[in-house]
């Protein structure tokens, strides 16, 4: 019988830590302190320009064979869904970001409704998204403004 709440607490925490330590293997150990880290897809773009280029590459490759079309379409679905996030990570002004977000959301909905099939209409809409991305690129300022304040 345990005599104090403190001892029960220590025993409970020790037991929990022991159980947790037994669940972590070398392969599953995190290499980062950030909880939201996750595996990055190999086709994750390096930026907005790369997103448009990768989408166009996959559109072209999807025309080569029916087997290739499914894989390419799935990657296009991913890339299109990532466009708003990638654009938000730039310092693109909000009025220029909103059309990208709306176009990507609309295309994502159409691709989901078509079960990821690249219909003629979806191909046209995908090309239009790429063009919109490319039109947005010159609107991204080179760098964020620096804080102008007195330094001690």
**pLDDT confidence of residue 31:** 47
Sign of the dihedral defined by the CA atoms of residues 36, 87, 130, 53, in that order: negative
Q: Which residues fall within 8 angstroms of residue 79, CB to CB, at 6 or more apart?
A: 43, 45, 51, 54, 55, 58
Q: Quote the tokens at residue 83.
A: 């466009």
Q: What is the pLDDT along the chain (152 residues), one digit of tens a residue?
A: 545 666 666 666 666 565 555 554 444 444 444 455 568 889 999 999 999 999 999 999 998 888 888 999 999 999 999 999 999 999 999 999 999 999 999 999 999 999 999 999 999 999 999 999 999 999 998 754 544 454 44
Q: Quote the tokens at residue 141.
A: 């300022």
Q: Do 74 and 109 meet the contact criterion of CB atoms below 8 Å apart?
A: no
Task: Report the distance separating Cα 131 and Cα 74, nearest Å.
Answer: 20
Exposure class string for 71-84: b at 16+ Cβ within 10 A, else e = ebbebbbbbbebbb
**pLDDT confidence of residue 11:** 61
**pLDDT confidence of residue 133:** 97
Q: Do 86 and 45 meet the contact criterion of CB atoms below 8 Å apart?
A: yes
Q: Where do the H-state alpha helices sit in 1-152?
A: 5-23, 48-61, 66-88, 94-113, 120-136
Q: Do 104 and 73 meet the contact criterion of CB atoms below 8 Å apart?
A: no
**pLDDT confidence of residue 9:** 61
């Amino acid at each position: 019988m345990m005599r104090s709440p403190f001892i029960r607490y220590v025993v409970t925490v020790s037991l929990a830590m022991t159980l947790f330590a037994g669940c972590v293997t070398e392969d599953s150990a995190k290499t980062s302190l950030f909880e939201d880290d996750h595996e990055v897809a190999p086709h994750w773009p390096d930026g907005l320009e790369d997103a448009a280029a990768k989408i166009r590459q996959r559109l072209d490759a999807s025309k080569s064979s029916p087997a290739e079309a499914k894989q390419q379409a799935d990657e296009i679905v991913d890339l299109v869904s990532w466009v708003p996030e990638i654009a938000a990570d730039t310092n693109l002004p909000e009025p220029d970001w909103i059309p990208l977000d709306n176009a990507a959301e609309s295309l994502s909905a159409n691709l989901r409704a078509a079960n990821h099939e690249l219909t003629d209409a979806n191909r046209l809409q995908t090309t239009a998204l790429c063009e919109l991305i490319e039109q947005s690129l010159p609107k991204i300022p080179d760098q964020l403004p620096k804080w102008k304040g007195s330094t001690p």
